[in-house]
Amino acid sequence: MTRVWSASRLTYLALGLSALLSIFPIYWMFVVASRTSDAMGQVPPPLTPGGNLGANIARLFDNTDAYFLTGLINSTIVAVTVTVSVVFFATLAGFAFAKLRFRGRNALLLVIVATMMVPTQLGVIPLYLLMTKLNWNDRLPAVIVPALVTGFGVFMMRQYAGQAVSTELIEAARMDGCNTARIYWNVVLPALRPAAAVLGLLTFMTTWNDFLWPYAVLNDPENPTVQLSLRALSDGYYQDMSQVFTGTAIATLPLLLVFVLFGRQIIGGIMEGAVKA
Amino acid sequence: MAVQLDARPPVAPAPRHSRPVRGARLSRFDTKYSPYLYIAPFFLLFGVFGAYPLAYTFWVSLHDWDLLGAEHPFIGLDNYSQLLADPDFWHSVVNTLGIFVISTVPQLLAALWLANLLNRQLRARTTWRMAVLVPNVTSTAAVAIVFAVLFGREFGMINWLLDHVGVSAIDWKANRFAAWVAISTMVDWRWTGYNALIFLAAMQAIPRDLYESASIDGAGRARQFWSITVPLLKPTIIFAVIISTIGGLQLFTEPRMFNSGTNAIRGGPLRESQTVTMYMFENAFAPHYNFGYGSAIAWLLFALIAVVAAINVLLLRRLGGGSRKEVSR
């Protein structure tokens, strides 16, 4: 039996090639980011890092079209705020759906599952009109507030709370006079911590990456997210590719860092979610 | 709930004091209504910023509504009839469907194959999984810029490689089909590993004795894969196809960033790679700010997604229908 499941040399070769295809564009981004802009015209293309990264970074931050530093700061503010909020509201609602009894629970849960299937991206036009009314256009609340909750998060926390939080523990806490809020804080939240961390990581990465909605609503070039700074760089009339690539590398770096540190948990979260869905 | 309350240790033997009574009432209120408090934030925020805009899109689509006009008169379905006769709209529909088909089919097949490789006894298991997932965690806009350069006409690495096997330089942005291929490559690069992990998770849930008895019956590895693994993976495959349909038909960032400069939102001078979402943007925001027309595009895209998803599910159901009976669970 083990023979059937064992990995041959061919398996490793195929996996190695796949890994190479996966990693190469990212690697090459850093190669070009560390060279002078001559690198683009060279034949054969250069495949090793150069020594120009520092100078490229300096030019990038001096670029008066991209507002790259503002973009980085804005993206950090947006991603951190949204992550904290999504995790908080998702654990709260997930706990309620998994462990509390109330009228209409199943119907409301169904609504949440349905929201995951709805392409809300198609509502950008009224959302834009709404932001104009609230006077949030070109300002960060416009990208933060609509992202504060996700149906995916609530559903994920509900599935996890169902198995990770013991009902006996909740009953015992109630006997001791805990109200529901304290049960959430002292019993449920600690038990949910592993899944909440995965949700937080996924939310941070999605928010950092978000492009379409910021593109629609943040039209002031002086107040971009980092993805919009990249757009400004790449749309420039005079394209200095090593500078553009330095921008893409820096915009990708936080995501790679998170992935290297927590890759195991992220993979676990994706795979567990798949089995349950 | 009431039983629990009664089971509380009698803290105060004399119930004349008002505190325990109020406490009990508070606690009853707590168990009965606090759940609604906990789920309310989701429904409030989603209602205002998710559901309402989506529904309101339809209302806007029935009006002649642009940024500058002080009034926006009701015009019924005029936006829709204008749209159905708009060649640029249909052009973007064809682009979207073309990119969707040539990205999704190879992507799901490659993901199945990759999952099958990862489902073996591997050394450094997590490292391999991370290596195939890493494209999924990168910044979409950043990677689109990188791919646009890789697919450059004069200095792009793809053309340089193709030159070695005797293919002359392809102008990836100017040729419509070539642009589809380049954008599909981007999409597949990002999503193949992710889907592979989803399939892998489902594969690991298949009981191994099914394979044991199959190999005793003389079924080879390939036969086992197509007769056991794939049929049992069908729910997961359907799930992946639906998710790909919803995401793929709304494709925006990759084609938008694949193009740069003044024509970027048009997907090139001749709209070579303009998707429906890009066309919606071009009309609803800069330069036209025609909210009514843009909203009509959004709703037709919504309908398109629903139709394509339904067709995909029907097709997949039928495809797997015969082989399912071979494997009795």
Contact A179 B305 (CB under 8 A): no
The dihedral region occupied by B270, where left means phi > 0, alpha psi between -120 and 50, and beta the remainder, is: alpha
pLDDT (tens digit per residue) in A94-151: 999 999 989 999 999 999 988 888 887 789 999 999 999 999 999 999 999 999 999 9
Please name the residues between 65 and 124 in chain A that touch chain B, using a CB distance below 8 Å: 89-90, 92-93, 95-97, 100-102, 105, 108, 111-112, 115, 117-124
Query: Tokens representing A267?
Result: 């993979």
pLDDT (tens digit per residue) in B15-41: 444 455 566 777 777 778 889 999 999
Task: Please report the pLDDT score of residue B4 as a whole number.
Answer: 40
Taking contacts as CB-CB distances below 8 angstroms, the residues of chain A near B25 are: none
pLDDT (tens digit per residue) in A57-99: 999 999 888 899 999 999 999 999 999 999 999 999 999 999 9
Taking contacts as CB-CB distances below 8 angstroms, the residues of chain A near B131 are: 15, 18-19, 22-23
HSE value, Cβ hemisphere, 13 Å, CA-based, for B62:
6
Judge contact between B110 and B189, C-beta under 8 A: no
* Distance from the B177 Cα atom to the nearest Cα atom in chain A, whole angstroms: 22
Angle at which helices B234-249 and B176-204 pack, to 10 degrees? 150
Distance CA A174, CA B179 (A): 62
Identify which of A118, A151, A216 has the shortest CB distance to residue B54. Answer: A118
Q: What is the mean pLDDT of residues A184-195?
A: 92
* Distance from the A102 Cα atom to the nearest Cα atom in chain B, whole angstroms: 7
Q: Which residue has the tokens 């399939």?
A: B199
Q: CA end-to-end span of chain B, whole Å?
A: 41
Distance CA A58, CA A247 (A): 11
CB contact A22 to B (< 8 Å): yes
Task: Please report the pLDDT score of residue B328 as a whole number.
Answer: 38
Taking contacts as CB-CB distances below 8 angstroms, the residues of chain A near B246 are: 117, 119
- Name residues whose C-beta falls within 8 Å of residue B152's C-beta, 6 or more positions apart in sequence: B159, B172
Contact B284 A174 (CB under 8 A): no
Read off φ and ψ for residue B199, nearest 5 degrees. -65, -40
Q: Which residue has the tokens 């998803």?
A: B309
Contact B133 A272 (CB under 8 A): no
DSSP string, B58-92: HHHHTB--BSS-S---B-TTHHHHHHHT-HHHHHH
Identify which of A25, A45, A125 has the shortest CB distance to residue B143. Answer: A25
CB contact A129 to B (< 8 Å): yes
- Domain regions of chain A by residue span: 1-63+237-260, 67-226
Give the CATH superfamily of A67-226: MetI-like (1.10.3720.10)
Task: Please report the pLDDT score of residue A1 as a whole number.
Answer: 41
Distance CA A85, CA B20 (A): 35
B290: helix, coil or strand? strand
Which of the four pLDDT bands, split at 50, 70 and 90, describes residue A274? low
More confidently predicted of A7 and A149: A149
Distance set, CA A183 to CA A15, A27, B1, B121, B138 (Å): 47, 47, 15, 43, 38
Nearest to A95 by CA among A10, A212, A183: A183
Nearest to A256 by CA among A212, A189, A219, A208: A208
Domains of chain B from N-terminus onward: 2-61 (no CATH), 78-324 (1.10.3720.10)
Which of the four pLDDT bands, split at 50, 70 and 90, describes residue A277? very low
* Distance from the A41 Cα atom to the nearest Cα atom in chain B, whole angstroms: 6
Please name the residues between 196 and 225 in chain A that touch chain B, using a CB distance below 8 Å: 205, 208-209, 211-212, 215-216, 219
- Name residues whose C-beta falls within 8 Å of residue A56's C-beta, 6 or more positions apart in sequence: A33, A34, A242, A243, A245, A246
Contact A41 B155 (CB under 8 A): yes
Taking contacts as CB-CB distances below 8 angstroms, the residues of chain B near A90 are: 42
For residue A133, count other CB atoms closer than 10 A to its CB: 8
Q: How far is CA B301 from the centre of its chain?
A: 14
Identify which of A149, A211, A212 has the shortest CB distance to residue B46. Answer: A149
Distance CA B56, CA A125 (A): 9
Contact B295 A126 (CB under 8 A): yes
Read off φ and ψ for residue B74, nearest 5 degrees. -70, 130
Taking contacts as CB-CB distances below 8 angstroms, the residues of chain A near B295 are: 125-126
CB contact A11 to B (< 8 Å): yes
Taking contacts as CB-CB distances below 8 angstroms, the residues of chain A near B242 are: 117
Which of A3, A110, A125, A243 is best to mutate for the B interface (most B CBs within 10 A)?
A125
Low-confidence stretches of chain B (pLDDT beneath 70): 1-23, 319-329
More confidently predicted of A61 and A240: A61
Contact B260 A235 (CB under 8 A): yes
More confidently predicted of A29 and B219: A29
DSSP string, A100-153: ---TTHHHHHHHHHHHHHS-GGGGHHHHHHHHHHHT-TTSTHHHHGGGS--HHH
CB contact A185 to B (< 8 Å): no
Taking contacts as CB-CB distances below 8 angstroms, the residues of chain A near B208 are: 1
**Number of cross-chain residue pairs from A and B with Cβ atoms under 8 Å apart:** 298
Identify which of B145, B198, B284 has the shortest CB distance to residue A244. Answer: B145
pLDDT (tens digit per residue) in B154-163: 888 999 999 9
